Structures are given as structure tokens and as C-alpha cells.
Structure 1
Amino acid sequence: MLRQIIVHPNETLRKTASEVPLENGLSDEHSILALDLMETLESTYPLGAGLSANQVNQTSRIFVINLEVGEGHFMRQYFINPEIVKTSTQTITDWEGCLSIPDQWGHVERFKSVTVSAYNLKGEEFTVTAADFYARLVQHELDHLNGILFIDKLKSRIYSTQELQKLEEKKSASNQTDNVQG
């Protein structure tokens, strides 16, 4: 079932999500929430690549990722009770946006790679090492579960989608000029 994505300044976005009980496996309630998160995320394509429970007004430690890994091919992952267990020393600053903060973009510094431990829909623990955009996405969604938004970590001012598109067009035109050989 599609869930409504809440937007800033909804107070749920600032709450720390509660750990999901897994002693008896994943409950039907949490399983449905996780599946609904993925369905809701998929409905936002191509805008969204990750969605946390906080963003649909729930405070359970669950987020999902639907990362395009090739044209028409996606890596779908469910993260229940995720935690970062290792980070790289190298960081990268790049653009970020958020489905809960529409039409807003800014530069955020993130670790280049992270290792995350979490549980899947079957309640089985797994560990994954993510790098580059995948690592950025995992860190962004995990921040949501801790009540942190990308606007809290900005290294630049906020840009609208229109401003960002103009910047990207200028950059593209500049790169084409730089590549002309005479």
C-alpha cells in the first residue's frame, strides 16, 4: 500500500526511531511497513532512491533502498535496525536532496564508504559495505532514523531544483568548451 510521504517541518522527521523487536522474527506490522515503504519509494522513481519509516510518519528503525544499478535494473534492499559498524576515513561532499524536503538541494559531506549491519525481512542479520552514492544513500536514510535531516549537515546554501539545473547546465557547457581542441 502506498503511504503518504510527510514533509518538513513535520515533527516525526525529528524523532529518533525505535528499534524493531526481532526476538520472534519480524512482526506482520513491521513486515507490512517495510513492504509499503518499498512500494511507496518505487512510486517516486526517478526522484527517490531511499525512504525511511520516519518519512511515512512511523518511528520504527526501518529504511529501504531502490538503487538503479543499470538501465532498468534495481537493487532493492530492506534495512531493519541498521547501524554503521565501520566508516572510511575519506569523505566526499556532494549534492543531496530529500523526498521530505521537496525542491531543496545542498552540499553534504559524507563518508566515502561505510559498513552497515542490519536485518532483512526474514529477520536475518546481514552486513554490507557501501561506497560512493550507495554509501551516501545509506548514511542519509540512517540519519532519518535518528531525526537528522540533510539540511542539518549542509556545507553550502540551499538551492532550488531550478537553480541546481542551471548550475548543472553551466557546468556541462563549461566542460564542453574545455574539451575543444584546436
Structure 2
Amino acid sequence: MRLTPDKKLHSREHLLADDLSRMLGEERRFAAYLGIAKRYYESDLRGLVRRVLEKQDLPQEARGKYFFAALRDKPQRPESRRHTPKPKKKKRKKRRVRMQKNHKTLPIIKVPQKVLRSVATDVPVTHIREPDIQDLIAAMKITLANTPDGVGLAAPQVGQSLRLFIVSEEAEEIDRSTADIERRFRRRALAGQVPESGMPPNKSNIGSGTRPWKYYVFINPVVKNKARGKALDAEGCLSVPGKFGHVKRCEKITVESLDEHGKKFLRGSANFFARVVQHELDHLDGTLFIDKAEEIIEVSPEEPRK
């Protein structure tokens, strides 16, 4: 036995394994000897090594094999037979986004509430997939779906001063339908079949179907490009009930934004969809359409049906 043990041999089993491996000339197999030192009695192991060394006809390279083969007949220590289960690693729970199915329609904030006149703050990218932001987006979609006259909704309109808004697919449908109607109108005009009014149908009656629309989410939007050409058209706002106005907007606009999953995208839009995007962008800066309208028309709300 070693009188001055190595500092690395910090237990009795380590000392025994070191002695056995050296006596049999297999220092490189220290790990294997450490395993049997923990499983068998020390007296049996040392006695077996002495018998192996006494065999003069046994070659040096065969001593280790003979030693391990002879261990099969030796009893093991009782504590070595116990199965000590490995401690279970705590699985890191993935944070799932909580999407409630029973979101309620949010109340629309109306003038003169201060939140409509405040500059909204950016949504931290790391918070986009958090439950509070995801719940807000889901609730805004339901709110817009339950508002027949709405095609866009900004977070300040529901009391949250965040740079976030959604646009309904209905705005795209209005653009497609308007373009189709205008093409038909031009064909009829060329054929001499012009309606009595002399004008194509009003697009306010287009896209009012009952099918469910999908919604485009814009988070922290930044305008990248605007067309020089502008068009004057009528606008209204859910936060300014009973008023409409003619507002001059860019006909085309390109916006860089983040979607509801935090992925960056670049979107170009034109015509009515571009107008809706610009209208919602104004909400994020505390601007309402009545601030830009050239002419404001007040409409009295309809009396409830009895």
C-alpha cells in the first residue's frame, strides 16, 4: 500500500485501484480497476492479485485478463448491488404562449381620451410572444371582427399605448373588388353602356361579406418608402364616431414591421389598403384623421330599432 498517497487518489477505493493496476502492470486501465474496487471486498482483490503474481508461467500481458476472469467467483459487496437511480434532470419547461379562446370584445376608446393623443411606445421584441401581447392581439382581432364598419384597429384605440395595429383582409378584398368594378365600368363605357349615374358603384358597399377575414399584424412599423402621388378620399374612425372627412393620402406606401411571431417583414401596399395602413400609423403618433381632413361631415347616429 502506498504510504504517501497521491493527492488525486482521494478515497480508499482510488488507492486500492491504483495499487492493483500497478501490481498487474496495467496503469492505463485505472478506471476499470476503480470499478471493481468499488464492487468487491479489498481482501479478496489483494488475495487474488497475490495468486496471479505467484503463477510464474503466466505471461505479463495475460495477468490482467486472468485477474478479471477469476473475479466472477468472488462475492460482491452488498452496498454495490443497490441500484441508486440517477437524479432526474429537471426539464426546462418551454414557455408556451397562452392563447385564450374566450377573448372578449374590447371597448373602443373614443375622443377626447388622452391615449388617442399620445405617441405610442415600441413593443420590446422579447415581449412579442409573451402572453400579455399575444392576448392583446387576439382580443383586437375579435374586436375588429365584431365591428362591421372597421377594417383596421390600433392598440391606442383599445387603451394600450403600444406601436401595434392590425388590418383586416377585407381591405385587400375592397381593392380587388374596386379594381374589378372599375374595369367593368370602363368596358361598358367603351361599349356605350354607362350607368345612369355616370359613375362606377361606391366602394363603401364592397367587401361587406360575412365570411371570416384574416388579419395582418404590424408591430413597431417603420415607413420605408412613400409614393409622391396622393389621392383624396373619405375616411372615418371607430374612435371618432359620427364624423367622416376627406383626407389626402399617399397612393402607395412601403412599411417594415414585425409580425405577431416577432419576425421582420417588408410590405408594400397601394390604394385602399395603403390608406388604412397610413390611418393606423397616425394613431400610433397620436394623430387622428380629423386633424388632416379637408372637409368634415357630421352624421347623426341611427336611432335604435324598436
TM-score w.r.t. the length of structure 1 is: 0.83
Name whichever of 28-37 and 97-106 sits farther off: 28-37
Residues 1:97 and 2:236 are matched in the alignment? yes
Partner amino acid for 2:158?
V
Preserved contact between residue 128 and residue 134 of structure 2 (Cα < 8 Å): no
2:144 is aligned, of 41, 47, 58, to 41
The structure with more helix, counted as a fraction of residues: 2
1:85 is aligned, of 224, 232, 248, to 224
2:283 is aligned, of 127, 141, 144, to 144
SS at match of 1:159: strand
Residues 1:131 and 2:280 are matched in the alignment? no
Q: CA separation in 1, counterparts of 2:169 and 2:108?
A: 19
Q: CA separation in 2, counterparts of 1:14 and 1:133?
A: 24
Alignment match, 1:62: 164
Q: CA separation in 2, counterparts of 1:44 and 1:100?
A: 12
Q: CA separation in 2, counterparts of 1:2 and 1:88?
A: 36
Alignment match, 1:11: 114
Q: CA separation in 2, counterparts of 1:132 and 1:145?
A: 21
Name whichever of 25-34 and 66-75 sits farther off: 66-75
Q: CA separation in 2, counterparts of 1:111 and 1:14?
A: 22
Partner amino acid for 1:84?
V
User: 1:88–1:22: structure 2 CA closer, same or farther, 3 Å change rule?
Assistant: same
After superposition, give the CA deviation of every residue in 1:105-145 in whole Å (9 maximum; x if it has no partner).
00001000100111111100111101000000000001001
Preserved contact between residue 127 and residue 133 of structure 2 (Cα < 8 Å): no
Q: CA separation in 1, counterparts of 2:270 and 2:143?
A: 25
Q: CA separation in 2, counterparts of 1:129 and 1:38?
A: 22
User: 1:149–1:88: structure 2 CA closer, same or farther, 3 Å change rule?
Assistant: same
The structure with more strand, counted as a fraction of residues: 1
Residues 1:51 and 2:149 are matched in the alignment? no
SS at match of 1:138: helix
Preserved contact between residue 118 and residue 125 of structure 1 (Cα < 8 Å): yes
CA drift at 1:2? 1.4
CA drift at 1:74? 3.2
SS at match of 1:13: helix
SS at match of 2:165: strand
User: 1:149–1:25: structure 2 CA closer, same or farther, 3 Å change rule?
Assistant: closer
Alignment match, 2:245: 106
Q: What percentage of residue pairs aligned between the two structures are identical?
A: 38
CA drift at 1:23? 3.4
Question: What count of residue pairs does the alignment treat as equivalent?
Answer: 160
Q: CA separation in 2, counterparts of 1:112 and 1:3?
A: 31
CA RMSD of aligned residues (A): 1.5
After superposition, give the CA deviation of every residue in 1:38-90 in whole Å (9 maximum; x if it has no partner).
11011102x00000000001101110111321653634201111111100010
SS at match of 2:106: coil
Higher relative contact order structure (alpha carbons within 8 Å, sequence separation ≥ 6) = 1
Extract unaligned runs of 5+ from structure 2.
Answer: 1-103, 174-206, 301-306
Partner amino acid for 1:92?
A
Residues 1:160 and 2:302 are matched in the alignment? no
